[in-house]
Structure 1
Amino acid sequence: MAKITASVYTSHVPAIGVALDLGKTQEPYWQPLFAGYEPSKQWMRDNRPDVIFLVYNDHATAFSLEVIPTFAIGCAAEFEPADEGWGPRPVPKVIGHPELASHIAQSVIQQDFDLTIVNKMPVDHGLTVPLSLMCGELDPQTQAWPCPVIPFHVNVVQYPVPSGRRCFQLGQAIRKAVESYDEPLKVQIWGTGGMSHQLQGPRAGLINREWDNAWLDQLIADPKACSETPHIDYVREAGSEGIELVMWLIARGAMADVAGGPVPTVKHRFYHVPASNTAVGHLILENNS
């Protein structure tokens, strides 16, 4: 049977993609951030999965304000990088895993979660920046991402957005779905977005180091309690865009300890401010079962 081997958590700041694409990673402003992902790239080389289930939010590229699904799973064979207004990022196209994606959709919907099935979808920086940070820079003409990726969109752009509790429960349903797939695949689940940031209004540029790191502590040690964080706390403490952190709870809910298994091992943890006007958080947890 398939199994979830690890979960990865990272911010997906668009300016990180710009720095990568323009060759600015060694500039003084950016070098400390990219240095924090060097251990992650080595870990990725040493722990290559068969499939990545990548939780992110679309930023009005695949879904406009006319139609915004709360949860949407990409079931296509491939996904092209989106043009977000200045051309697609120069990265490889994303190869999907339609068989596993369709199985997860079937299983999760039967566990009473309503998913939108998407068979054609451009993927924006929310998905490609985490891949670049973890896998390194790749030539789209000659190289490919190291494995298939299942894109999983969560609406954290237009209220109402799903609760942390709902996302945590969804992660548990995804774990059950993966483990019922009749092929010995090693699957990683990634939660992206966050950490504290606000892009508009009088508090634009808000970053809350203390709250971010306390939230990370709780995500690791007591994820169920972390999932009970009210929406208003995210807004007050982490800014209007800090609500993206609920997506990390999907990945955390899929880990073995939530279902009574052993506590995961923290393989890497990193926090940096600022990247553009955003706090960057990063975590890798490995299952021990």
Structure 2
Amino acid sequence: MAKITAGVSTSHIPAIGAALDNGRSAEPYWAKVFSGFDFSKRWIAEEKPDVVFLVYNDHASAFSLEMIPTFAIGCAESFKPADEGWGPRPVPIVQGSPDLAWHIAEAVIQSDFDLTIINKMDVDHGLTVPLSLMFGQPEAWPCQVIPFAVNVVQYPPPSGARCYALGKAIRKAIESFDADLNVQIWGTGGMSHQLQGPRAGLINAKFDNHFLDLLVNDPEAAARIPHVEFIREAGSEGIELVMWLIMRGALADTVEELHRFYHVPASNTAVGHLILKNPA
């Protein structure tokens, strides 16, 4: 049967992708950011996941205000990098895992979670930047990827509790898939940041690090954080952290923290990153 071996959380800041794509990753400002993923690249090269179930949010690339799914699962064979206004990122096409994706969709929908099934879409920096941070700049991504898009852009986004419970349903679905697969769950976005208004540039390191602690040791408490607290403490875009709770819900109650990285600033946001090992 398929097995979830680890969870990864990371920010998906677009400027990180631009720095990498334009050969600026060794500059002093950016070198500090990328150094936090040195361990991660070595680790994942040894782990060799077959499939990454990657939770992210679209930034008006695949979806617009004309159609806003709360949860959308990509079931296609492949997904092209999106043109976000300056051309697609020069990264490989993402190869999907349609058999597993359809199995997850069926199992999760029959577990009373409504998912939108996507058979064609382009994927933006929310998905490709985490892949670049973990895998570098390969000619082809070394594993299949199931994109799972969450609406955290247009009100109302799903609650942390709903996302955490969804993660548990996803875990059950994956573990019932009849294939010998090493699956990782990634939650992306965050950490604290706000892109507009009087609080633009807000970073709350105290809240961010407390959230990291809760995510590892008391995820149910993290899942109880209400929307208003995320917005007040982590800024309007801090609500993206609910996506990390899908990742955490897909893991066992007790996990081993293999790596933690937190850095300010990268662009006008905080970078957070965790690698959590699921029990064997």
Q: Give TM-score scaled by structure 1 length.
A: 0.96
C-alpha deviation, 1:3, in angstroms: 1.1
Match of 2:81 in 1: 81
- Find out whether 1:199 has 2:190 as its counterpart: no
Point out 4+ residue stretches in structure 1 off by more than 2 angstroms: none
The AA in structure 1 aligned to 2:158 is P
Match of 1:3 in 2: 3
Using the alignment, how far apart are the partners of 2:67 and 2:211 within structure 1? 31
Match of 1:208 in 2: 204
- Find out whether 1:224 has 2:220 as its counterpart: yes
User: Which residue of 245, 249, 259 maps to 1:253?
Assistant: 249
Match of 1:62 in 2: 62
User: Which residue of 248, 269, 272 maps to 1:278?
Assistant: 269
- Find out whether 1:235 has 2:231 as its counterpart: yes
C-alpha deviation, 1:241, in angstroms: 0.1
Segments of 5+ residues of structure 1 without an aligned counterpart are 258-262
Using the alignment, how far apart are the partners of 1:267 and 1:218 within structure 2? 15
Match of 2:100 in 1: 100
Match of 1:186 in 2: 182
Using the alignment, how far apart are the partners of 1:23 and 1:65 within structure 2? 34
* Deviations 1:9-34 (CA, angstroms, capped at 9, x unpaired): 00000000000000000111111110
Match of 2:117 in 1: 117
C-alpha deviation, 1:119, in angstroms: 0.2
- Find out whether 1:176 has 2:167 as its counterpart: no
User: Which residue of 143, 167, 176 maps to 2:163?
Assistant: 167
Match of 2:147 in 1: 151
SS in 2 for 1:8: strand
C-alpha deviation, 1:256, in angstroms: 1.7
- Find out whether 1:287 has 2:258 as its counterpart: no
The AA in structure 1 aligned to 2:119 is N
Using the alignment, how far apart are the partners of 1:67 and 1:288 within structure 2? 39
Using the alignment, how far apart are the partners of 1:29 and 1:181 within structure 2? 44
C-alpha deviation, 1:124, in angstroms: 0.1
Using the alignment, how far apart are the partners of 2:267 and 2:243 within structure 1? 21
Using the alignment, how far apart are the partners of 2:182 and 2:34 within structure 1? 27
- Percent same amino acid among aligned pairs? 71
SS in 1 for 2:120: coil
The AA in structure 1 aligned to 2:242 is V
Match of 1:260 in 2: none
C-alpha deviation, 1:137, in angstroms: 1.4
SS in 2 for 1:60: coil
Using the alignment, how far apart are the partners of 2:255 and 2:205 within structure 1? 24
C-alpha deviation, 1:7, in angstroms: 0.3
SS in 2 for 1:271: strand
Using the alignment, how far apart are the partners of 1:190 and 1:122 within structure 2? 19
Using the alignment, how far apart are the partners of 1:241 and 1:177 within structure 2? 30
* Deviations 1:235-280 (CA, angstroms, capped at 9, x unpaired): 00000000000000000000022xxxxx211110000010000000
The AA in structure 2 aligned to 1:254 is A
SS in 1 for 2:197: coil
The AA in structure 1 aligned to 2:161 is R
User: Which residue of 253, 265, 278 maps to 2:256?
Assistant: 265
Using the alignment, how far apart are the partners of 1:226 and 1:288 within structure 2? 21
SS in 2 for 1:213: helix
Using the alignment, how far apart are the partners of 1:266 and 1:42 within structure 2? 16
SS in 1 for 2:157: coil
The AA in structure 2 aligned to 1:59 is H
Using the alignment, how far apart are the partners of 2:140 and 2:243 within structure 1? 26
Using the alignment, how far apart are the partners of 2:80 and 2:201 within structure 1? 31
Using the alignment, how far apart are the partners of 2:252 and 2:210 within structure 1? 22
Using the alignment, how far apart are the partners of 1:172 and 1:221 within structure 2? 16
Segments of 5+ residues of structure 2 without an aligned counterpart are none
The AA in structure 2 aligned to 1:7 is G
